[in-house]
Amino acid sequence: MGLKARIKSVLPRSLFMRSLLILVTPIFLLQVITTYIFFDRHWDDMTDRLASSVVKEIALIADQIEQVQGQPERVEVIAEYYGRILELGISYRQGASLNRTDYDLSAWGAIVHDTLSRQANTIIRRPYDIRIDIQEKWVEISVQLKDGVLTVVTPQRRLFSSSAYIFLLWMLGVSLVLLLIAVMFMRNQIKPIRRLAIAAEKFGMGREVPFLKVEGAREVRAAARAFLEMRERIDKQIQQRTAMLAGVSHDLRTPLTRMKLQMEMLGDHPDATALKQDIADMEKMIAAYLEFARGEGGEPSERTDLSAMMTRVLDQAVREGAQVTGAIQPEVSAVVRPVALERCLTNLISNALKYAGTVDVQLYTDEETVQILIDDNGPGIPLELREDVFKPFFRAEGSRNQKTGGVGLGLPIAQDIILAHGGTIDLLDSPQGGLRVYVRLPM
Ligand SMILES: Nc1ncnc2c1ncn2[C@@H]1O[C@H](COP(=O)(O)OP(=O)(O)OP(=O)(O)O)[C@@H](O)[C@H]1O
Ligand SMILES: [Mg+2]
């Protein structure tokens, strides 16, 4: 897509890096602009003036010496006098002539050379040559006089102020210190947000969330408090639901037991057999409700060997006479509620065995998730029913009249458990022609 998407893909993802960017960008821009203005205006101006004054001094000395050419003692006196006062190294070679030498200049050297030449062209009005040694920090300017060559050596500091470096260094240093302080403060600001995110994620996966400290900026505190309240409300709701279901199931058992006793006393009346069957069904259902209710209980999460668990479940199925094949990657572990997850796996496999003849199980991991595939060769579930079968008490038409006699809670319980672990459960087509149940769990 367009520019927006591209910019987005370049920008950092974490809040920390983003805030850092928000902070660094203006500092960096400020630095660039200040540096630019400083060098473009102030520094150029300064070096121009410095160069001009040195060049004027040289012009003055050149004039003086030219007036006393042919009188070496007087030339010497002038050279000594100006050299001392102006801190220049002055020498004069009578009869010599200027020979220009070409040499490479560094970037700094080129700047100094340019500034000097600009001034020299207008002020000295004689042939001249400039030699610059940046390392040794001196500049040598030779001027062709009528009768010889005047050479003036000046220290570099007379031509450009080193305060420019110091200014830049200060600016850089101060921004670094500012940045460091900002990073320190920002990390403290972001810590509570990160903690909140981790807590919410863990809670979503049904894992233990230790008490979350309400800390940080006002908005973060508000979010943390809202999260804590939400957690409490959800926990309470689950508890209430569990308690109600358990209570109802339990209360129903007593009259059912009484009815069973009364049926026994009725003897072999033809109506009695049908009623007995109904009572047996009701007992089975109540047992299932109780199981459903218990599934939500506060079982603690712990790191569990899922490979071993799956092998156990399959062994049980084999013992019951089922035809099972499997490819189980060994030693796959995850943080789960072991009893609940084992019930989930049992439900799924018993479904496959109930509605199909054979079952093939795969369990493997791809570093981030545990993947479980349960394939059977049964009739499968039509596409339009794949959502409904997860609703409690829903049973597909075909299974209604079967002797299998389920309640319709197997899949809802399995889904509840997987979702509470932060995983997903999907119904697909198996390569064997039946149903494939695809479960993914975070590690
Ligand atoms: N492997 C499967 N193949 C075909 N249909 C299935 C399979 N698993 C589940 N179903 C269909 O989905 C419905 C719901 O399954 P679920 O496990 O929730 O209930 P149940 O098996 O009927 O009863 P319960 O598991 O509570 O004893 C089943 O009635 C059945 O029609
Ligand atoms: Mg079932």
Per-residue pLDDT reduced to its tens digit, 283-311: 887 887 777 776 655 678 889 999 999 99
Do 148 and 215 reside in the same domain of the chain? no
Q: In whole angstroms, what is the distance from residue 413 CA to residue 425 CA? A: 12
pLDDT for res 404: 58
User: Considering the domain boundaries, does residue 167 fall inside one?
Assistant: no
Do 146 and 128 reside in the same domain of the chain? yes
Do 333 and 406 reside in the same domain of the chain? yes
Of 161, 191, 211, at which residue does a domain stop?
Answer: 161
Residue 432 CB: number of other CB atoms within 10 A? 17
In this structure, the residues whose C-beta lies within 6 A of any atom of ligand 1 are 288, 347, 351-352, 355-356, 376, 378-381, 389, 394-396, 399, 406-412, 434-435
293-325 in b/e form (b: 16+ CB < 10 A) is bbbbeeeebeebebbebbbebbeebeeeebebe
- Mean pLDDT over 167-177 rounds to 86
Do 228 and 331 reside in the same domain of the chain? no
Per-residue pLDDT reduced to its tens digit, 407-438: 788 898 899 889 888 899 999 999 989 999 99
Atom 11, ligand 1: which residue's CA is nearest?
Answer: 396
Q: Considering its fold, how many domains does the chain have in total?
A: 3
Q: Is the pLDDT of residue 340 over 90?
A: no
Do 20 and 138 reside in the same domain of the chain? yes
User: Considering the domain boundaries, does residue 322 fall inside one?
Assistant: yes
**Containing structural domain, residue 438:** 301-442
**CATH code, domain with 378:** 3.30.565.10
* Residue 37 to residues 33, 45, 146, 340, Cα–Cα distance (Å): 6, 11, 43, 70
pLDDT for res 345: 94
Per-residue pLDDT reduced to its tens digit, 79-103: 899 999 988 889 888 888 887 777 7
Confidence of residue 397 (pLDDT cuts 50, 70, 90): low
User: Considering the domain boundaries, does residue 168 fall inside one?
Assistant: no
Do 366 and 262 reside in the same domain of the chain? no
Distance 303 CA to ligand 2 centre (A): 27
User: Considering the domain boundaries, does residue 183 fall inside one?
Assistant: no
**CATH code, domain with 252:** 1.10.287.130
Of 140, 161, 182, at which residue does a domain stop?
Answer: 161
Of 298, 313, 346, at which residue does a domain stop?
Answer: 298
Reduce the secondary structure of 173-197 to three states and give it as a string: HHHHHHHHHHHHHHHHHHHHHHHHH
More confidently predicted of 375 and 261: 375
pTM of the complete model beyond 0.85: no
The angle formed by the CA atoms of residues 427, 432 and 436, to the nearest 5 degrees, is 15
User: Considering the domain boundaries, does residue 170 fall inside one?
Assistant: no
Do 206 and 280 reside in the same domain of the chain? yes
Which one of 358, 399, 437 would you pick to mutate in the ligand 1 pocket, going by the greatest count of ligand atoms within 8 A of its CB? 399
User: Considering the domain boundaries, does residue 207 fall inside one?
Assistant: yes
Which one of 355, 373, 384, 385 would you pick to mutate in the ligand 1 pocket, going by the greatest count of ligand atoms within 8 A of its CB? 355
pLDDT for res 398: 60
Do 376 and 335 reside in the same domain of the chain? yes
User: Considering the domain boundaries, does residue 169 fall inside one?
Assistant: no
Q: What atom of ligand 1 comes closest to residue 347's alpha carbon?
A: 25
Token code pair at residue 305: 């060997």
Do 147 and 117 reside in the same domain of the chain? yes
Please name which ligand lies nearest the alpha carbon of 408.
1
Per-residue pLDDT reduced to its tens digit, 109-161: 787 888 888 888 888 888 888 888 767 788 889 999 888 899 999 988 887 76
Do 122 and 233 reside in the same domain of the chain? no
Please name which ligand lies nearest the alpha carbon of 382.
1
Do 234 and 307 reside in the same domain of the chain? no
What percent of the chain is helix, strand and coil (3-state, nearest 5)?
60, 15, 25
Query: For the CA atoms of 200, 204, 210, 211, what is the dihedral angle to 10 degrees?
Result: 50
User: Considering the domain boundaries, does residue 425 fall inside one?
Assistant: yes
Mean pLDDT of the chain: 85
Do 145 and 233 reside in the same domain of the chain? no
